[in-house]
């Protein structure tokens, strides 16, 4: 896995969350704001289909049962 902002540095599933949190903190300065900047993560695998995930921060829906 690679993040655009980290060039060709490789990441594993174990350290992706830490990097996303770190970059989010950097972009938002740890405040509750929404920024237009993107965090792009590319996952490479010969065993999966191409998939695009889009996170819409600030848009939250809670389902109650």
pLDDT digits (tens, 9 = 90+) for 20-47: 888 888 888 877 777 888 888 887 778 8
Domain boundaries, the chain: 1-65
Residues in the chain: 65
How high is the pLDDT of residue 56?
Answer: 66
Among 36, 65, 37, 41, which Cα is nearest to 53's?
41
What's the 3-state SS for 2-58?
EEHHHCCCCCCHHHHHHHHHHHHHHHHCCCCCCCCCCCCEECCCCCCCCCCCCCCCC
Q: What is the pTM of this model?
A: 0.64
């Amino acid at each position: 896995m690679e993040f655009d902002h980290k060039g060709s540095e490789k990441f594993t599933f174990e350290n992706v969350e830490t990097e996303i949190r770190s970059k989010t903190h950097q972009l938002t300065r740890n405040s509750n704001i929404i920024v237009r900047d993107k965090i792009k993560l590319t996952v490479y695998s010969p065993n999966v289909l191409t998939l695009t995930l889009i996170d819409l921060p600030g848009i939250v829906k809670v389902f109650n049962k």
